[in-house]
Amino acid sequence: MIQPGLSFEQAPPLAVPFRFFLLAPFFLLASGLLMLALGPAALASRWAPETLALTHLVTLGFVAQTMIGAVLQVLPVVAGSPVIHPGGVALTTLLGLNGGTLLLVFGFLAASPPALQAAAALLALGLGAVVLAAGVAMVRGKAAASPTVYGLRLAFLGLAVTVALGVLLALALAQGLALPLQKVVSAHVSWGLFGWVLALVAAVAYQVVPMFQMTPQYPQSLSRWLLPALFLGLSLRTVTELFSGSETLLHLLDGLLGLLVLGFGAATLRLQQQRRRRLRDATLMFWQLGMGALVLAAALWLGGLLVAPLAEDPRLPLLLGVLVLGGFALSVINGMLYKIVPFLVWFHLQARGPGKSPLKSMKDVLTDRMAQGQFYTHAAAVLLLLGAVLAPAWCFYPAALLTTLSAAWLARNLIAAIGVYRRALPALVAGA
Amino acid sequence: MSDVVHVMSEDHKVCDDYFEQAEAAAGSGDMVGCAARFEVFRGALLRHFRQEEEVLFPGFEEATGNTMGPTRMMRQEHEMMRELIERMRLAAEAASAEEYLGAADTLMVLMQQHNMKEEGILYPMCDSVLADQWGELHMKMQDIPPE
């Protein structure tokens, strides 16, 4: 006889995801300030230490931080199994991820081998803990198998590969190991952006895009095969690049990956156009921007494979980086935060008992006007960042300024949301 | 297919449709149309709750001997949704589109994450423990009149 679910009872306390959500915008803020401090050198080349520092502030400090916070929240629901010791796992990850990110950034900027080594250890610990905990929860999970559940499993596999390659790279840099650095970096980047970020976004999108906007479902052929094909492609690509070196095969695999990414972005935009809920809120605007940037990135990537001069232009990888990280990942996450955070605040106050909460709805936590204001700032920042790659003299400082402003605005909105919770709670506890 | 997963998930979709029609009316400022469509939605959703609370959940609780598990959580969320439904009813009555849309958007998120838990976890559990009684339970559920 099955033991019916203690499962979805055990959503973690509000503090677990919120610590991640509240820290994250400060890393974006730091990336904007770092751009202002470093000047155009920050975006000069994908290999510059300044650019690496900037990239990791965003990928680890913001992207990984928010995605992990959100996964710890939804895993009990989606996988049908709670995370064991959620408090302990969250704390280990929080300390490892934040400490490791700061040390890594310092290690890049100061070219300090001890800092890079310590960063590698902390990141391995923090991210290893969450990969392990999520892995256990998903293996034990009782949820009906769905593309979302499979997608989550693949995303954590992607995270594990990304972290392993990243730790290897940090150690290689610190100790001067003889590694084919460029090839390992290429594998690290492709697993991080596609095996982890895109896989998680797709897994979540299969559920939330049809659900919240009332669009048709993703075509089954896509939701069933996209991520397995992506992972097969990524694995073959990594093996080919590291061990066989066949340029033709690598080209073909890169083309396949580009088409898969393009397919996902285009399908999502198409579904959103067919949505039956006509209301256009901040979350939808962020997602449309994100998918648009993803489609553009994939098109540019495919263009680079076909047109040799484009491929050789050193600005191409930077443009792709801005589009995929700033345009796609940041937008999609930012948009989700505006659904998740107000809902959790409302829900946790409501759960104190019927008729007690002073909030009428999520809108009392954060108005759509504040969220939309930040959206326009963010969208302008992304455009200017693209400009900063192409015409640094004109666009670099405005881009840095708007990036900083958008991050500060996001931080302000999230802090205001938690403030609503803090102010309402004492009366509810006293009256209970 | 007429098991718990399919029958009850289908009913979620029907409720979603009614929800969207009422919301679309409010979004275009037609609060008279909204109020009429809202009543259809409200009737369908409250009936769905009663089918679960009076027939399906007790069946599950009896079969598993567990009244403190997932069904308790689902009942709590039903209560939260009833409160939002009441706010929407008052807003529709007062022809306040803004109030209506705020409560409706919140209900939408609550309802969808609730449905996800039922469709992904609770209904499949029901199918595995209630296979023998489902025909009888299904008839009892159909006897519950619309609100």
Hunting for tokens 């949301």 — which residue is that? A417
Cβ pairs A/B, distance under 8 A: 101
- Nearest-CA distance A215 → chain B (Å): 11
Q: What is the DSSP letter of A274?
A: T
Residue with more model confidence, A313 or A355:
A313
**Shortest CB distance from B105 goes to which of A9, A146, A361?**
A361
Closest CA to A260 of A238, A220, A287, A233: A233
Q: Over 50: is that where the pLDDT of A5 sits?
A: no
Q: Over 90: is that where the pLDDT of B136 sits?
A: yes
| Contact yes or no for B19/B85 (Cβ under 8 A) | no
**Residues A9-43: tens digit of each pLDDT:** 456 788 889 999 999 999 999 999 999 999 999 99
Distance of CA B27 to the CA centre of its chain: 22
A2: left (phi over 0), alpha (psi -120 to 50) or beta: beta
The pLDDT of residue B102 is: 93
Residues A343 and A154: their CA atoms lie apart, in Å, by: 27
Q: Please give the tally of structural domains in chain B.
A: 1
Residue with more model confidence, A47 or A400:
A400
Under the banding of pLDDT at 50, 70 and 90, the label for residue B70 is confident
Distance of CA B59 to the CA centre of its chain: 18
Tell if the CB–CB gap between A277 and B23 is shorter than 8 Å.
yes
Cβ partners under 8 Å of residue A100, min gap 6? A60, A118, A119, A120, A121, A122, A123, A125, A126
Hunting for tokens 């801005």 — which residue is that? A322
The pLDDT of residue A84 is: 83
Stretch A318-323: mean pLDDT: 97
| Contact yes or no for B61/B71 (Cβ under 8 A) | yes
Minimum Cα–Cα distance from A361: chain B residue: B103
The pLDDT of residue A141 is: 77
Residues of chain B neighbouring A77 (CB-CB closer than 8 A): 113, 116-117, 120-121
Burial A98-112 (b: 16+ CB within 10 A, else e): bbbbbbbbebbbeee
Q: Which string of DSSP letters, residue by residue, matches A127-172?
A: HHHHHHHHHHHHHH--SPP-HHHHHHHHHHHHHHHHHHHHHHHHHH
Residues A310 and B70: their CA atoms lie apart, in Å, by: 56
Count, residues in chain A? 432
Say whether B68 sits in a helix, a strand or coil: coil
A101-105, A347-351, A369-373: lowest mean pLDDT where?
A347-351
**Residues A261-281: tens digit of each pLDDT:** 999 999 999 999 999 888 889
Minimum Cα–Cα distance from B72: chain A residue: A9
Tell me how far CA of residue B124 lies from CA of A45, A50, A143, B128, in angstroms.
Answer: 53, 52, 8, 6
% of residues, chain B, pLDDT over 70:
99
Stretch A411-432: mean pLDDT: 90
The pLDDT of residue B116 is: 87
Q: Over 60: is that where the pLDDT of B17 sits?
A: yes
- Nearest-CA distance A82 → chain B (Å): 13
Q: Over 50: is that where the pLDDT of A103 sits?
A: yes
Tell if the CB–CB gap between A7 and B70 is shorter than 8 Å.
yes
Mean pLDDT of all residues belonging to chain A: 92
Stretch B18-30: mean pLDDT: 94
- At A339, list the tokens: 């659904």
Stretch B40-67: mean pLDDT: 95
The pLDDT of residue A211 is: 87
Q: Over 80: is that where the pLDDT of B1 sits?
A: no
Q: Over 60: is that where the pLDDT of A340 sits?
A: yes
Minimum Cα–Cα distance from A359: chain B residue: B103
Mean pLDDT of all residues belonging to chain B: 93
**Shortest CB distance from B125 goes to which of A4, A343, A350?**
A4
Residues A201 and A199: their CA atoms lie apart, in Å, by: 6
Residues A97 and A61: their CA atoms lie apart, in Å, by: 8
Query: CA neighbours within 13 Å on the CB side: how many for B109?
Result: 20
% of residues, chain B, pLDDT over 90:
87
Residues A398 and A306: their CA atoms lie apart, in Å, by: 33
Residues of chain A neighbouring B23 (CB-CB closer than 8 A): 277, 279
Residues of chain B neighbouring A140 (CB-CB closer than 8 A): none
CB count within 10 Å of CB A412 equals 13
ipTM rounded to 2 decimals? 0.91
Helix axes A147-175, A86-110, angle to 10 degrees: 40
Residues A234 and A253: their CA atoms lie apart, in Å, by: 8
**Shortest CB distance from A143 goes to which of B103, B106, B121?**
B121
- Nearest-CA distance B29 → chain A (Å): 12
Domain holding B20, by residue range, is 4-143
Q: What is the distance in angstroms between the CA of the first residue and the CA of the last residue of chain A?
A: 38
**Shortest CB distance from B125 goes to which of A5, A78, A212?**
A5
Closest CA to A257 of A285, A226, A215: A226
Q: Domain holding B130: CATH number?
A: 1.20.120.520
The CA-based diameter of chain B, rounded to the nearest angstrom, is 49
The pLDDT of residue A10 is: 52
